[in-house]
Structure 1
């Protein structure tokens, strides 16, 4: 395949003396590089009524940046095309009622007997209106955890014996 063009990207970081330190693409953090790669796709999705699907959205991104990305899809002045974001993540800080409703948070749980994955929404569970979704998930109230939360210990041997679980957030 013929390469049409190649960009040389540099990043300027401010330092206390009001000058700038320049970094090449390879010197920049993995999170910044991942965000730059994603931002064009995110902007296109927001503009053109797309459903954007991203596996493990949080890879090397700061939690504040994750919240920012999700908020762009929630903001009707930015998301004028009513685009949707569907993603998986291991970052439980996104399980917040100010960010998502119960029907927008989905959990997968693998049955140990059959290795079949079951997908269910928090709206299918009996959850108090004032409950903190993140704490409920981390304490095992909703299922989908990879270790016995009662003992609050998790050895590599336990993880190797039990199937893994994720949760999915849907906007």
Structure 2
């Protein structure tokens, strides 16, 4: 579970901001929305929603998680001298456009150990990197890398044991990426690598979910069909049916295994059943279903997997194609400790004001982004005066009225003049 994520100089996020899922408030309001991993002394929010006008930086905050994931999991694949593709500094300032991007994340691993990872980098070089954890109440260092360190001079903490620590890396590789993907590295660093590789899932606004991996999973198919039938889609079951594989023209010299994967992905198409009058069932193809139904159909396996194993799901534009009640259902599933038994987390962006309700989200679960002179500002409702913004305040109405910022500034009169001119 993520406790805090600090970002600076990434895309529109110029200054340093901390996006926190630490449950600072001791209020009893919606206590079920808080998980208590490890020894139960730190409360961590199960969900968090990010609001803001278009182009205010909501998506950039979510993309910062992806950039961190690239540094941890994929920067080790870069060749000597390659540019780090996720180096995207703030470009509207001479001072920042060549300055380092910095990330810091505090989190609980699947083993309920608490870690802090920090990294700072420019276009072709990682400047600093460190990993600490809490084997007890005292923080201990696993490794520390400074700007002048090579793979031979990087320092290691005394509790970092159990394998080969010194692993060669280029200056554009993170140590965590190289060591985490090495079979003979200590287990603790490999577990962190796999945590971010396997347990952080991202679904963008136009993201196409690959269904190939669950088309043969009968148990998952059964669960997805059952849920679809209970959310008023009209669907009463579905199957994956073989399509005509000959409609694809693939190169004759393509490797057989790759050809088989492509044909399998294309051949098996979902067919949905709807019950009509007198119990008669009719089959509907994909193009006969609504975009909202298809998005929910594609997303449900990932939701189920995240809840089953306890991961982190990043959803950009949760409200896109979804009725507000469906979006609220997804949030409630993650907030419900009886359903979310593995402490999975949902972090989402949305424009859906109806979700900004004290019956759904706590004050500290609602975040706002706003552009000022081209730079993104990030704040939580928890940052506002608590005597003014109480846990049961009408968040949605006050947000719509502009009390919290984060809404687009629209000059209606000027727009009318432009149209009429």
TM range, normalised to the smaller chain? 0.7 to 0.9
Partner in structure 2 of residue 37 of structure 1: 298
Partner in structure 1 of residue 259 of structure 2: 2
Counterparts of 2:353 and 2:260 in 1: how far apart (Å)? 40
Give the alignment of 1:123-142 within 5 angstroms: 123-126=382-385, 127-142=389-404
Cα distance change, pair 156–52 in 1 and its aligned pair in 2 (3 A): farther
Q: Determine whether 1:98 maps to 2:359.
A: yes
Give the alignment of 1:99-114 within 5 angstroms: 99-111=360-372, 114=373
Q: 1:50 aligns with which of 311, 319, 330?
A: 311
Could you list the structure 1 runs, at least 4 aligned residues long, displaced by more than 6 angstroms after superposition.
none
Q: Structure 2, unaligned stretches of length 5 or more?
A: 1-257, 417-421
Counterparts of 1:26 and 1:34 in 2: how far apart (Å)? 12
Q: Per-residue deviation at 1:55?
A: 0.5
Q: Per-residue deviation at 1:23?
A: 1.2
Q: 2:380 aligns with which of 121, 140, 146?
A: 121
Aligned residues: 152
Counterparts of 1:132 and 1:2 in 2: how far apart (Å)? 55
Counterparts of 1:155 and 1:19 in 2: how far apart (Å)? 56
Q: Per-residue deviation at 1:78?
A: 1.4
TM-score by length of structure 2 reads 0.34
Q: Do the aligned partners of 1:54 and 1:88 also contact (CA within 8 Å) in 2?
A: yes
Q: Per-residue deviation at 1:15?
A: 2.8
Q: Do the aligned partners of 1:109 and 1:118 also contact (CA within 8 Å) in 2?
A: yes
Deviation digits for residues 35-68 of structure 1 (CA, Å, limit 9, x no counterpart): 1111111111111121100100111111111111
Q: CA-atom RMSD, angstroms? A: 2.0
Q: Determine whether 1:144 maps to 2:406.
A: yes
Counterparts of 2:260 and 2:327 in 1: how far apart (Å)? 32
Q: Per-residue deviation at 1:110?
A: 0.4
Partner in structure 2 of residue 14 of structure 1: 275
Counterparts of 1:116 and 1:81 in 2: how far apart (Å)? 37
Q: Per-residue deviation at 1:115?
A: 0.6
Partner in structure 2 of residue 169 of structure 1: none
Q: 1:87 aligns with which of 327, 348, 359?
A: 348
Partner in structure 1 of residue 154 of structure 2: none
Secondary structure of 1:109's counterpart equals: strand
Deviation digits for residues 128-150 of structure 1 (CA, Å, limit 9, x no counterpart): 343111101101011011036xx
Counterparts of 2:412 and 2:298 in 1: how far apart (Å)? 35
Q: Per-residue deviation at 1:11?
A: 1.5
Choose 1 or 2 for highest CA Rg: 2
TM-score by length of structure 1 reads 0.81
Q: Structure 1, unaligned stretches of length 5 or more?
A: 159-171
